[in-house]
Amino acid sequence: MSSFQRVQQWMTLARTWHLYDAKWQNPFESALVVKQRLCGLHKPIYHPLSDCGDHVVVINCREVALPGDEWRRRVYFHHTGYPGGASWTPAWELQEKNPTMIMWKAVYNSMRGNLKRRYTMCRLHLFADEATEDILCKVTSQIRPVRPVPQRLDFYPEDFVTSFPKLMDWPKDYILHSQKEQPAAKGSESSYVSKLLFISSAVKFILIMVLKGLSPGDPNSYSRPEDAVVCNLELRMDINFENKTLSGSTVYDVKKKRQDVKSVIMDSKGITIKAVKDVNTGKLLEYSLSEPVPVFGSKLEVFLPQSDDLRHSVEVEFETSPEATGLQWLSPEQTCGRKHPIVLSHCEAIHCRSLIPCQDTPSVKAPFSAKVTAPQELTVLMGAHEDGKPTPVGDGKRMLFSYKQPVPIPVYLLAFAAGKFVKRELGPRSFVWSEEEIVESAAYEFAETEVMLQTAEEICGPYVWGVYGLLVLPPSFPYGGMENPCLTFVTPTLLAGDRSLADVVAHEVSHSWTGNLVTNCSFEHFWLNEGFTVFVERKICGRMRGEAHRHFSAIGGIKELAETIHIRGESNPLTQLVLDLRGVDPDDSFSVVPYEKGHTFLFYLETLLGGADVFDPFLRFYLDKYKFKSVSTDDFVSTLKSYFAGKKPQEDLLAKLDWAAWLNTPGMPPVIPKYDTSLADACSDLRKRWQCWDVQTECPFTIDGDLKQLSSNQVIEFLAQLVAETESPLSLEKVKKMQEKYDMNSYTNSEIKFRWLRLCIKARWEEQIEKALEFATSQGRMKFVRPIFRDLRKWDKARDRAIAAYEKQRSSMMYVTAHMVASDLGLTKE
């Protein structure tokens, strides 16, 4: 045996000492690496019954980094073995008591199912800071950290920092001149706010936000549910169409997390607070309302009664502003019937704080009940169950509607609408509401809703919400659908007449599990809502119409994703799956990215791990584990890894996966799965024929021989490919010939019309500008409106007309649509 082979043999059989630096590392990811060495999984002689593991020395356990808000959310259980000996210790408190215990528990739990782990753990040597010399002298190997540790600025030499090239120099008037620090005024957050006189509005906005202290768990909310959380809401509202306001009160069931908590913190935006009182005693309570910050509103702090009770019932009387961003008031002329007004809410992402004071973060979920009064000729609908029949109040000119939602929801799903609505049954637990003029069309279009529900249950598990309703709203509604529990809001642009656009309902049905049942803990993890929902939606459609349809839909989604990333920029951080929304309006981050990039990631995982037979059981396990809860991306990743732990080859494949490339890297996904292109091929063939046709020869195209051979979705794909074409775009002459042969202007399918008008704009067909503007202003669905306005802005001859049309229509748009289109047209004011 050679000397080299002897060393190899010695290294295999001997117990080696490894060093691992836990500084700024996720202990749960580190545990998987440490476990490999402790158990000997890295050795060729490994066997489950053999004891061939090495020693591992872990240093800097004091500086481990738990993901997301795990420091406050994670709780460790311990029982002494005696009656009443149970205790639950928060992660932060356990770390303070014993800085090595979290790492110890992470490694111990990673070996779950290993009967020898108690003895294996004897080879784990944990140190809060540096290891002792007698231990370090035995170390012969170092384990690479799971994540690179960034260099802190104060670690660099001062001369290196001062000589580093500057991007800019601050103007002199940005500097705070010396002033004597004034004592903080009562109710103010900091005396420093008063010093912001010489700073630009943008810088002042950021500084005020920091000083006012938005929540560490959710950068878009003031609330601190780790201190006191709202567990139930009782809402009373009166709808006033004349003043365009809601007035009433909300009773909050507040639970303090600790005895020393003195107040509950909520979000409020433009709301007038009339009174705050203790429900049990009727006494008024003190409260403070901070100066409003753009986008995020004000922090409402209600000081709780002084007692040892952990539960309190607080009532807040309020009135909304006519400019509440979560409400849209439609005059009779803006409705289908043109006789009665309509009001509707839209609280996603952070607009519920303009309706009621609330903990406006998806990390807080609570059931609610509501009593709403409205003019007697109108019907009030809510995303909840009817709690009795409507009853007249006062002089009989107003009606009281009662609702109850027993399943806990985040407040962005709190939804209501009032108008002249009528109802049609779709199935034993499904129905559709709309104005009478379009209710029959809606009932026909969404007739498959019950089948979609049943198919979703086969994939995801039982439907917990009881009933499933649809409300077809006026055209100004900004989304294809909004997944309010028990009552999905949908746009009338889905009424194509052939059910070809009903897949949107499959999407909203899927949200009943992914988003409503299991919710992203903040909108930084929005892909957990939307990526999962698109994934389940396409599974539903695949089971109903064939697997090829699922793949065909994914191919169209990839094209939309590529266009969005091209517009936003390959390096734009808002094209990552996991976002950093500190100081960012969540509405500004809204795009197709979390939908399609999230779906691509999940489809890739399904394919990588062995297909639907392997991945579907995990999906149901994930949904069952986190039902009624809010989760982060780290929760999903750790659950995925633990589910497949010990299962080969899935465990090895996940260990090699580049998580950072998928989750934290801007741009297109690192891998595009191989989809079935059988349905897309016919669209590509027709597109290529149009591109290759020589206009000097006779036109070979006919509607019977071309479009009538394709489904509506294939026509959409055909046009989408032409719109996306950059190397060989269709000339104006060919686009005009297409209109002559196919009569594209006559199509009423909104998806087809949208892509056709974009193709006309791309070819610079001036006569179509008016049709494009009419389409963009006749409905408010952002999927259609924003690209049309963006395209027209790039065209010199159309830009001024587009801006004029927007200014004329702005008042009838919902806030989020008007806000985003203004940004697209370059009209946003700093």
Q: In terms of Cα–Cα distance, which of 350, 325, 346, 588 is closest to 480?
A: 346
Give Cα 519 distance to the centre of its chain.
8
Please give the Cα distance from 492 to 438 (Å, whole number). Answer: 9
Q: In terms of Cα–Cα distance, which of 327, 282, 318 is closest to 298?
A: 318
Backbone angles phi and psi of 756, in degrees to 5: -65, -45
Count other C-beta atoms under 10 Å from residue 122's C-beta: 9
Q: In terms of Cα–Cα distance, which of 783, 789, 782, 787 is closest to 817?
A: 782
Residue 319 β-bridge partners: 247, 272
Please give the Cα distance from 96 to 93 (Å, whole number). Answer: 5
Please give the Cα distance from 189 to 494 (Å, whole number). Answer: 48
Backbone angles phi and psi of 87, in degrees to 5: -145, 150
Residue 508 catalytic? yes
Beta strands at 468-472 and 487-490: parallel, antiparallel or unpaired: parallel
List the structure tokens of 383. Answer: 């995303």
Residue 348 catalytic? no
Q: What is the DSSP string of 363-375?
A: T--EEEEEEEEEE
Catalytic residue, candidates 70, 508, 717, 751: 508
Name, in order, each residue with C-beta under 8 angstroms of 216's C-beta and a sequence gap of 6 or more: 69
Helices (H), ranges, 89-194: 91-97, 101-110, 117-120, 133-136, 158-163
**What single letter denotes the amino acid at residue 277?**
K
Q: Which long-range contacts (CB under 8 A, 24 or more apart) does 419-424 make?
A: 419/330, 419/335, 419/340, 419/341, 419/342, 419/343, 419/344, 419/378, 419/379, 420/335, 420/337, 420/339, 420/340, 420/342, 420/377, 420/378, 420/379, 421/379, 421/381, 421/471
What's the sign of the alpha-carbon dihedral 44, 47, 48, 54? negative
Count other C-beta atoms under 10 Å from residue 168's C-beta: 5
Catalytic residue, candidates 20, 287, 468, 595: 595
For residues 287 and 301, is the Cβ–Cβ distance under 8 A? yes
DSSP state for residue 601 in the 8-state scheme: H
- The residues assigned a catalytic role are 508, 595
